[in-house]
Amino acid sequence: MHLIPAIDIIDGKCVRLTQGDYNQKKEYNSNPLEVAKAYEDAGIGRLHLVDLDGAKQKKIVNLKVLETIASGTGLHIDFGGGVQSDEDLQAAFNAGARQVTGGSIAVKQPARFEKWLQEYGSEKLILGADVKDGQIAVSGWQESSDRELFRFLSDYKAKGVSYVICTDVSKDGLLQGAAADLYTQITEQFPDLKLIASGGVAALEDLKELKAIGCWGAIIGKAIYEGRITLKELAEFNA
């Protein structure tokens, strides 16, 4: 299972929100490159980079952070947050993103997201499926949609999606464990999808559980910043 630390950006700084609430923001580091290098030094190869300003403004805002980390490390970066136009998608790839996560756009502009899948291929695009009470949440979780999670996954799998990041919004940032039951249902129903679990990881045991479920990857955020999981533990888990 791939371990994927998350760096969430507001005003160019590393922050974490709780359940997507911009009013519950905690700043951890003003130098995202420093954080990314620490992950790389621990033997981690991937990074989930989220432009929270972009998610709110529906356009990329923190492109410079992506450029800096991509040029300053060898990390495989998947980038999300505010990628809503062809220009933004190309800008993200030009800045060094290896993959781009599309969540809101897959709900609101499905034809555009399908076009991207056809043009760039399923290895370059990750479907963002952020779920709140069984429905897909969009725009940095500020809005709900009428799309039911399993129908949403089924539709996009049929359109060629290979990678999915699924975040249970109710778990995110609370350090109370991941949504194991939800991920078990997804892996059983869609065994071919490369499922990346996100939200709630609080301890090494959570990662072991997600690996046993069959998740392709797991995103770890606040647990690292808060010292619940050390980089040494992640390196040993990866070994």
Confidence of residue 173 (pLDDT cuts 50, 70, 90): low
Residue 177 Cα distances to 33, 78, 124, 174, 203, angstroms: 28, 23, 29, 8, 8
Q: Please state, rounded to an integer, the average pLDDT across all residues of the chain.
A: 91
Q: What is the percentage of the chain residues whose pLDDT exceeds 90?
A: 72
**pLDDT, tens digit, for every residue of 27-44?**
888 999 999 999 999 999
| pLDDT score at 84 | 93
Q: Active site residue: 53, 78, 88, 130, which one?
A: 130
Structural tokens at position 227: 């010292």
Q: What is the percentage of the chain residues whose pLDDT exceeds 70?
A: 94
DSSP state of 59: S
Structural tokens at position 13: 């700084």
State yes or no: is 146 an active-site residue: no
Three-state DSSP state, 142: coil
Structural tokens at position 6: 């998350």
What are residue 56's DSSP bridge partners? none
pLDDT of 104 above 90 = no
Q: How many CB atoms lie within 10 A of CB 28?
A: 17
| pLDDT score at 145 | 63
Pairwise pLDDT comparison (217 vs 141), residue with the higher score: 217
Closest CA to 56 of 86, 11, 91, 97: 11
Lowest average pLDDT, out of 3-12, 111-120, 129-138, 139-148, goes to: 139-148
| pLDDT score at 103 | 86
State yes or no: is 8 an active-site residue: yes
Q: What are phi and psi of 103, to 5 degrees?
A: -115, -70
Q: Are 238 and 44 in contact (CB under 8 A)?
A: yes
Residue with tokens 């299972």: 1
Burial class (CB in 10 A: 0-12, 13-18, 19+), 33: middle
pTM greater than 0.85 = yes
Q: Are 234 and 3 in contact (CB under 8 A)?
A: yes
Pairwise pLDDT comparison (212 vs 168), residue with the higher score: 212
**pLDDT, tens digit, for every residue of 128-170?**
998 887 788 775 555 556 789 999 999 999 999 999 999 888 7
Q: Are 210 and 4 in contact (CB under 8 A)?
A: no
